[in-house]
Amino acid sequence: MLLRALIALFFLVTTGIASAQDLKWMRFEWTGDSISGKYFDKSSIIIPVKVNDIPANFTMQFDLGAVKTVIYGKSIKPYLAAYPALKSRIDTSKKFLIQGENNPVFTNMELRTDGINFKGIEIGYFENFGSQIDPDSINSGAEKHIGTIGPDLFKNSILIIDYPGKKIGVCQELPEQLKKASFQPFLSDDGRIKIPLTIDDSVEYLLFDTGSSLFTLTASKENALKTADHTIEDSLTVMSWGKQLTFYGVRTKKAVKFGNKVLSGSLIYYDEQRTFEDFYRFAKIWGLTGNAFFLKNTVIIDYKHKLFGVL
């Protein structure tokens, strides 16, 4: 009896150690920005990275609203000139679609963070996008922003976003202490995930987009005004993929919930130009949500079992 108890304890301890070793973390940073006369200290999630063997400090935005991890062509241009081995990784026979245009890809790439290495990966080469970098500055040591990290890096894994701890984890087996989170199944067609939120007593699916930090919810004008008071309580003018848009915020009539968990925040934003309504219909979503609802939480995205958890 004692022997069996000791064996059980041994397996429990070794399983815990294995889970701890399986979980790897990378740190992230918030960038701040002034928008419509207001300062937001959490406008985007930025991850410091190294690319292949290039001796430069890069950053990429963590954006689960994207489909693919990409490097911006205008930003990486001076490095392609300085490092022919990087340029040789561009494969024009492979294409990916972004903003209605086909672009080539980098093949057999490596992205290194402070805690996780992604090896042998494919990264999109978004040719005509990004901010130009002065060729004379590429050896300065200053961080250069060159792209976006998308959900394709985490497929068939469990992704953990510890917002208070400012770190992102990846593992294959969920550590025991995170299993007490509240979980709901999510939908996914292309790597982007749609999570169920209860809005005005109806369960609606919204795209979870970590590239969106300013708004608790965005929706079509029709959906926003159907579930909220019509008094505009806030407005923000932002740049979205090179286009200036003004969003208006109206207050929901009832609290928004994830399962039984009440989320902190009750403004739904829409834009009068109805810019994203075709996308909402195409993606079959009620709207979009992002980081703002979960800043005090740890979010768990189990891509293997299509479960979204909030702790």
pLDDT in tens, 65-108: 999 999 999 999 999 999 999 999 999 999 999 988 999 999 99
Nearest to 89 by CA among 79, 97, 99: 79
The whole-number pLDDT of residue 3 equals 41
Is a pLDDT exceeding 70 seen at residue 4? no
Nearest to 256 by CA among 212, 301, 300, 219: 219
254-306 pLDDT, tens digit per residue, is 889 999 888 877 889 998 877 888 889 989 999 999 999 899 999 999 999 99
Type of residue numbered 311: L
- The residue with tokens 């809005």 is 199
Instruction: For residue 284, report the phi and psi dihedrals to the nearest 5 degrees.
Output: 60, 50
21 CB-near residues (< 8 Å, 6+ apart): none
Rounded mean pLDDT of 217-237? 91
Percent of the chain clearing pLDDT 90 (strictly above): 73
Give me the CATH topology for the region 24-154. Cathepsin D, subunit A; domain 1 (2.40.70)
Is a pLDDT exceeding 90 seen at residue 248? yes
For CATH 2.40.70.10, list the domain ranges present in the chain: 24-154, 173-310
Which stretches of 67-126 are assigned E, i.e. beta strand?
Answer: 70-72, 90-98, 101-112, 117-126
User: Cβ distance 45 to 62 under 8 Å?
Assistant: yes
Structure tokens at 158: 């469990």
- The residue with tokens 């679609």 is 97
173-310: CATH number: 2.40.70.10
45-to-106, 107, 117 alpha-carbon distances in Å: 23, 25, 18
Element (H, E) at 61: strand 58-62
- The residue with tokens 């984890």 is 169
Structure tokens at 114: 């402070």
Work out the mean pLDDT of the chain and round it to a whole number: 90
Residue 223 to residue 208: CA distance in whole angstroms = 17
Q: Quick one: CA torsion of 13, 14, 16, 19, rounded to 10 degrees?
A: 180
Report long-range pairs for 229-233 (Cβ below 8 Å, ≥24 apart). 229/253, 233/267
pTM flag (> 0.85): yes
Is a pLDDT exceeding 50 seen at residue 17? no
User: Cβ distance 110 to 117 under 8 Å?
Assistant: yes
Least confident of 144-158, 166-180, 221-235: 221-235
Residues recorded for the chain: 311
Burial bucket for residue 250 (CB in 10 Å: 0-12, 13-18, 19+): buried
307 CB-near residues (< 8 Å, 6+ apart): 183, 184, 185, 186, 300, 301
Instruction: Work out the number of other CB atoms within 10 angstroms of the CB of residue 55.
Output: 9
The whole-number pLDDT of residue 35 equals 81
